[in-house]
Amino acid sequence: MKQTPSIPDWGSRSFIMGILNITPDSFSGDGLLNQDDLITKAVDQAIEFVKAGVDILDIGGESTRPGAEIIDAKEEIKRIVPIIEAISAEIQDTIISVDTYKSPVAESAIKAGAHWVNDVWGLRADPEMARFLSKINVPVIIMHNRSDPANVITAKSLGGRYTNIQYDDLVADIINDLTISIEIAHKGGILDRNIIIDPGLGFGKTVAQNLELMNNLGKLKSLGYPILVGPSRKSFIGYTLNKPPDERKFGTAAAVSVCIQKGADIVRVHDVEEMIQVARMTDAIVRL
């Protein structure tokens, strides 16, 4: 395992996580898996992101779009490990995160050169994940997720969205669910300094619930952990603006700016160069 780059100085500025989807079915249309010379394209994209100023590269091998096909750990490892190895060899000082909820995939990715784990099921999908992460002492992003394929509806140009997702009190319920995941982390031995929380925009939430969550993001500060948000190109933007994924850049920019104003420490995005400018301008206004 390589030396981990320093953990960001939380609160000093907004940090940017760039998305590399090693999938054939990304909702955003940026999946790299079926492209020729995959490794070269992935490395080139990573280098481009780093030159633009990205802080973290997030590499995932399984699509998390509503209704996406679940793949097994073996296939996920096959997709991402060669990419992580190649990027790790080229890029030395940028954090590499692996987007997975499976401990065997996390272990293979860390051995290949990844530094963080981004668990979209908040340590609940794999009972071994918390113990593994404690053992190797790496940061983990713990995400809130109430996704259920039974609640997905799809429009041809806009993609899938969740409907009929019930919360008693949206933000309070998300905080309670994240608290349970944090307790799992503590029981597994994960240290507080290695925990980042993500309220799970787009995961098991309706369009209206996603908008409400962003407007109340600051309430998650009560948990005491850095906050990551991932609004980029999400369906709640598409359904609000009636735009397909490749026309959601301006909507994403608005969401990124609001999330930073409301307390986000990291924003996870596809359009790295543009969203860095949005983040820097928003920081100049709100982080005086």
**Which of the residues are catalytic?**
234, 268
- CA atoms of 255 and 214, how far apart (whole Å): 8
Contact by Cβ (8 Å): 215, 259 = no
Tell me how far CA of residue 121 lies from CA of 140, 184, 203, in angstroms. 11, 12, 10
Q: What is the 3-state secondary structure (H, E, C) of the chain?
A: CCCCCCCCCCCCCCEEEEEEECCCCCCCCCCCCCCCCHHHHHHHHHHHHHHHCCCEEEEECCCCCCCCCCCCHHHHHHHHHHHHHHHHHHCCCCEEEEECCCHHHHHHHHHHCCCEEEECCCCCCCCCHHHHHHHHCCCEEEECCCCCHHHEEEECCCEEEECCCCCCCHHHHHHHHHHHHHHHHHHHCCCHHHEEEECCCCCCCCHHHHHHHHHCHHHHHHHCCCEEECCCCCHHHHHHHCCCHHHCHHHHHHHHHHHHHCCCCEEEECCHHHHHHHHHHHHHHHCC
